[in-house]
Structure 1
Amino acid sequence: MNASSAPPSAAGSPARRAWMAVLARTSRAELETALARALGGAPAPAYDWLRPPQTGLAMVRGRVGGTGNAFNLGEATVTRATLRLRAHDGETATVGVACHLGRDKRRAELAALADALLQQPARHAQLHAELIAPLAQRLAAQRAERRDEAASTKVEFFTMVRGDA
């Protein structure tokens, strides 16, 4: 198994960070559709809130020139949520977390649920293949499209050198 398909062993594993980034950048409608498809139409498992979806502000910091001194750029609205799946039939209860820009509480709930489900070894491979991989491909395609659009507007300036007279 490669690193992206193996269940994470620690909360800060690279695989988990990668799928959390995908979930944070995915819209609510896409999350609902993809999660319903990945669960095969079955209802979502029962869970308890550790932190129900909350909306607040986070300070956005920048750096002069990208690498220089840090400064406070402004505040951004973020929504976060934390839930714990109820354990059944020998399963361990997994905790899912989510944080994204904006005020959509349902989106945070869906992302936290997906995070918790992805941590279960029995479901990980199937959910990664049916949920994370397609969403990651779509996000990569969107980034490439934006990059190509920006590149098409690039203007190259040059200077003609006069010949010696």
Structure 2
Amino acid sequence: MQEIQQNERKAWLSLMATSPDGALTKLFAKETEAPKFDWLRRPEIGSVMVRGRTGGTGAPFNLGEMTVTRCSLKLASGEVGHGYVQGRRKEDAESAALIDALMQTEAAAELRTKVLTPLSTEIAEAKAKRARKAAATKVDFFTMARGED
């Protein structure tokens, strides 16, 4: 088992948690064959409290609840994977847990190339498209000097 950095694992778990509906399962199923595993926690749907901060740095406050799906599994080789995804998506949570476990094995480089990188690209393109759409509606207000002063 290769040594992984905590920040690196956080990054791929975050990427998978925010993936579009079905994208993770589609990429994973297309590129890899699922290994044998035992469930530690079958996929289950619940909710979590989302917290926010005023201005990003102010005092925290409860923003509201969000639906999530989570699961945990253990590969036959011993690696444990956890999957949390936004929404009611049991298949995506299972794929996320499998990818998390497999990223702790020798298959990590292949998964990064065939699943995580395309997923990251897809999310970045969607974010850029939303930004372009929002920028098209931007209105710049300005005040002209009237010359009466």
Partner of 2:87: 102
Return the offset for 1:125: 0.7
Task: State how far apart, in whole Å, the 2-side matches of 1:149 and 1:62 are.
Answer: 25
Q: Where does residue 22 of structure 1 map in the other structure?
A: 15
SS in 2 for 1:65: helix
Distance 2:3 2:16 in 1: 16
Instruction: Name the counterpart of 1:134.
Output: 118
Alpha-carbon distance between aligned partners in 1 of 2:89 and 2:135, rounded to the nearest angstrom: 32
**Do the aligned partners of residues 38 and 156 (structure 1) sit closer, same or farther apart at CA in structure 2, a change above 3 Å counting?**
same
C-alpha distance in 2, partners of 1:116/1:64? 36
Runs (4 or more) in structure 1 with deviation over 3 Å come to none
Q: CA deviation at 1:24?
A: 1.2
The alpha-carbon deviation at position 38 of structure 1 amounts to 2.1
* RMSD over equivalenced CA pairs, Å: 1.7
Percent identity between matched residues is 45
Q: Is the 8 A contact 1:55 1:77 kept in 2?
A: yes
The within-5 A match list for 1:145-156 is 145-156=129-140
Are positions 1:50 and 2:35 aligned together? no
Separation in structure 2 between the aligned mates of residue 29 and residue 78 of structure 1, nearest angstrom: 14
Measured at CA, do residues 34 and 147 of structure 1 come closer, stay the same or move farther in structure 2, by a change above 3 Å?
same
By how many angstroms is 1:105 displaced? Answer: 1.3
Could you list the runs of 5+ residues in structure 2 that have no partner in the other structure?
none
Match status 1:38 vs 2:23: no
Question: SS in structure 2 opposite 1:159?
Answer: coil
5+ long unaligned stretches in structure 1:
1-6, 88-92
The answer to whether the Cα contact below 8 Å between 1:62 and 1:72 also exists between their aligned partners in 2 is: yes
CA deviations on 1:112-144 (whole Å, 9 max, x unpaired) are 011111110x21111110110011011111111
Q: CA deviation at 1:65?
A: 3.2
Task: Work out the CA distance in 1 between the residues paired with 2:4 and 2:85.
Answer: 24
